[in-house]
Amino acid sequence: MRTQNLQTLVFLVVHSEFVASIQKCFQIVLAAIIALLSLIDNFQRQWDVGSAIFVELAVKKLRQPSTVIPVMRRMKSILPRKLP
């Protein structure tokens, strides 16, 4: 009977250690997923800011007189003379 109890105790200890290691692995995987999602979110925000800055610089460049007139001429040459 004592051997049976000892075997049961050893099984429970090993089983609880196994479950604890599985839980630790899940915690590590979950932390890695959260870190990856945070990194993606941060990259998306930087991309949005970078795009906004690029658009702002392009608009400023187009507003300069030296670029507005050639762009208007190009647009006039592209557009049809008479609209239906």
State CA 40 to chain mean position distance. Answer: 2
Percentage above 70 pLDDT, the chain: 71
Quick one: pLDDT at residue 56? 78
- The domain limits of the chain are 2-78
Instruction: Give tens-digit pLDDT for 29-43.
Output: 899 999 998 888 888
Under the banding of pLDDT at 50, 70 and 90, the label for residue 46 is confident
d(CA 46, CA 1): 67
CA distance linking residue 43 with residue 46, whole number of Å = 5
Q: What is the DSSP letter of 84?
A: -
Cα separations (Å) of 15 from 21, 32, 33, 35, 50?
A: 10, 26, 27, 30, 52
